Amino acid sequence: MPTTLTHDERLTKIARLRRFPDELERLVKHLSEAELYTAFIPGEWSVAQNVHHLPDSHMNAYVRTRLILTADNPPLVGYNQAAWAELEDYKLPIEPSLQLLRNLHIRWCTLFDSLISSDFARTGLHSEKGEVNLDDILVTYDNHCDAHIEQITRTLAAKNS
């Protein structure tokens, strides 16, 4: 069953998306190569993999947002995030991903700001989650921001263990 947020809840979640690129950059910008690219927790991603993952994931959500707004119950395809994290571009410096995330969030939040209440009820059919609406996307990616800040913080704390 798709989520229904209040107007104020939507504004809070959009504001979180708007702040996230700055928060992420403050957390990772000063890190050394070793801190960025070492997986300090076995079986978990390095800080750099987390940073590169974020624009990938949020781009998928941005495209899903646009699909939901422009088609009736469009298919929304999941992807193998772990496999993406092993591709060569995840070895790049983090700056292009930070810039991509920042610019993506400007567009995504501008789009969300332009919507009316009924737009948030529009749905798509996700290959892994079933029917989702734009409120679901807001909830998911508000939580996604928090989860990756926590994961990066945990990873950095583990380097001293």
> Which tens digits make up the pLDDT trace of 59-87?
999 999 999 999 999 999 999 999 999 99
Q: How many CB atoms are closer than 10 A to CB 149?
A: 16
Q: Sheet holding 123-126: strands in order across?
A: 75-76, 123-126, 130-133
- Say if residue 35 is exposed, middle or buried (CB neighbours under 10 Å; 0-12, 13-18, 19+): middle
pTM for the model: 0.94
Domain boundaries, the chain: 7-158
- pLDDT of 35: 96
- pLDDT of 2: 78
What is the Cα–Cα distance from 24 to 100, expressed in whole angstroms?
12
Rounded average pLDDT over 17-36: 97
The number of helix segments (H) and strand segments (E) in the chain equals 6, 3
Answer yes or no: are the C-beta atoms of 128 and 134 closer than 8 Å. Answer: no
Question: Where residue 1 falls among pLDDT bands split at 50, 70, 90?
Answer: confident
- pLDDT of 109: 98
24: pLDDT strictly greater than 80: yes
CB neighbour list of residue 95: distance below 8 Å, 6 or more residues apart: none
Mean pLDDT of the chain: 96
Answer yes or no: are the C-beta atoms of 50 and 98 closer than 8 Å. Answer: no
Question: Where residue 108 falls among pLDDT bands split at 50, 70, 90?
Answer: very high
161: pLDDT strictly greater than 90: no
Question: In the structure encoding, which two tokens stand for residue 146, read together?
Answer: 């928090």
- The label of the residue with tokens 């919507």 reads 115
Fold for the domain defined by 7-158: Four Helix Bundle (Hemerythrin (Met), subunit A) (1.20.120)
